[in-house]
Amino acid sequence: MANEIFIIKERCTGCGSCVKVCPVNCISMTDRAKEEGVRWKKLAVIDVNTCVFCNACVEDCDRLFNKTKEKMPNPDFFHAIVMKKEKVEVNIDTTAYKGVWCFAEQRHGQLMPTIFELLHVGKKLSLDLNEDLSAVVIGHDVTQYAQEIIEHGADKVYVIDHPIFEHFVDEVYTNALTDLIKQEKPNKLLMPASIIGRSFSSRVAIAAQTGITADATELSINPKTRMLHATRPSFGGNLMATILCEKHRPEMATVRPMSFQRAEKQSGRKGEVINVKVDLSKWNIRTKFVRYEAEKKEDIDITAAEKVVSGGRGLGKPEGFKLIEELAHTLGAAVGASRPTVDAGWIPYKHQIGLTGRTIRPKLYFACGISGQIQHLAGMSSAEVIVAINKDTECPMFKLATLSVEGDLYELIPLIIKEINKIKHK
């Protein structure tokens, strides 16, 4: 039996409540005022091709029915949405799934360094399981990267190379990776929590009928169960939750970039390259790539920057970021921020560092007016050199910093800029 959902027209009041709760916007209202003998002027219509069968609309309509029932004995309206879902029996032989896989992301023909971070943590998982460590790379003309991936620790590299993969499209990438998963049956699958990784990893998990932990910052293997323990921040970073996937395989997780160091390169390391055949006739492709327009910006990406200057609540006002930007420009650094300044609207979210923002690993980190709460420290504590400027000598950032400077940042930063410019002009 396939999944089915429909509206009982006689019971639908056209109230529109189901439209508001639908997470994929697949419900709309149609006018039926001209129909003879109808009780209500509007009718809910569900696009079954878009519906994900989450049950939100059914629960909402039933809630209204129960609320009305408190006042009326047996209302003949509401309780108007019927959903019939296919029952999927979970009967997976988990012992048939072997190997740790890492997804090697490429953008516009360039291999992203996130694969080296995944290989670092993936290697430990594979050793704990005594299973192979493999990588999957999808794209066009990407076979050239296979040896580099092997030299960073992969035992096997699955190469899915075809012109259709030249530009990232969720649907085609999902089809390719899902087919390979069903064919090869990996035990664990790690993907980067990048824009691309986050975009299609959930699609892959659904298509492969498995679970996924998003934005993991810690990964380990339980020696008794051999299951993946994926830990991620929850409730705004106030709690850490460890997620398990007991009955499905592969166990999947997206890994926050910069959470782990990169695997070291071993030149000349040997491994197996497996070229995967692509059969487009098996896929019903409904989307296509139209064009790519690069974002016009002068900002340095904080996730890739070797130097970062960040401002916190100690700035006291949004204009304080002009001083932070001036110091960053002088150093050739990226601009970062703590969560309170982003929440206050002083600076866009893309600059936020911490559990609920970006994780960075720069060589030099300036923390200006940042007290150093645990959520922020989790995003930048791996920096090689940390310089903290703050009036509060008891703040947590001072305990972590390589160099701590007590004082008013509005007095100190201009002096630092002045001294740097002197050195530059010598």
The tens digit of pLDDT for each residue in 314-355 reads 999 999 999 999 999 999 999 999 999 999 999 998 899 987
- Own/partner long-range contacts of 64-67 (Cβ < 8 Å, ≥24 apart): 64/15, 64/17
From the CB of residue 6, how many other CB atoms can be counted at a distance below 10 Å? 12
Task: Give dist(CA 111, CA 90) in Å, integer.
Answer: 37
Which backbone phi and psi does 202 adopt, to 5 degrees? Answer: -65, -35
pLDDT value, residue 342: 93
Tell me if 354 sits within 8 A of 332, measured CB to CB: no
Q: In what order do the strands lie in the sheet with 364-368?
A: 334-337, 307-311, 364-368, 385-390, 403-406
Task: Give dist(CA 104, CA 148) in Å, integer.
Answer: 11
- What are the structure tokens assigned to 296, written together? 């016009």
Point out which residues pair with 42 in neighbouring strands: 31
- What are the structure tokens assigned to 48, written together? 């079954």
Q: Kindly state the average pLDDT of the residues 171-187.
A: 93
Q: Which domains does the chain have, with CATH numbers?
A: 4-84 (3.30.70.20), 94-278 (3.40.50.620), 307-424 (3.40.50.1220)
pLDDT value, residue 34: 81
Q: Which residues fall within 8 angstroms of residue 45, CB to CB, at 6 or more apart?
A: 7, 27, 28, 29, 30
Task: Give dist(CA 201, CA 74) in Å, integer.
Answer: 45
Mean pLDDT of all residues belonging to the chain: 89
**pLDDT tens digits, 4-22:** 999 999 999 999 999 999 8
Task: Give dist(CA 80, CA 68) in Å, integer.
Answer: 13
> One-letter amino acid identity for 2?
A
Q: What is the DSSP letter of 353?
A: B
Q: Tell me the whole-structure pTM to 2 decimals.
A: 0.65
Which of 46-60, 83-97, 150-164, 339-353 shows the lowest mean pLDDT across its residues? 83-97
pLDDT value, residue 95: 85
Distance linking the first and last C-alpha atoms of the chain: 78
Task: Give dist(CA 278, CA 158) in Å, integer.
Answer: 12
Q: Is the pLDDT of residue 236 over 60?
A: no
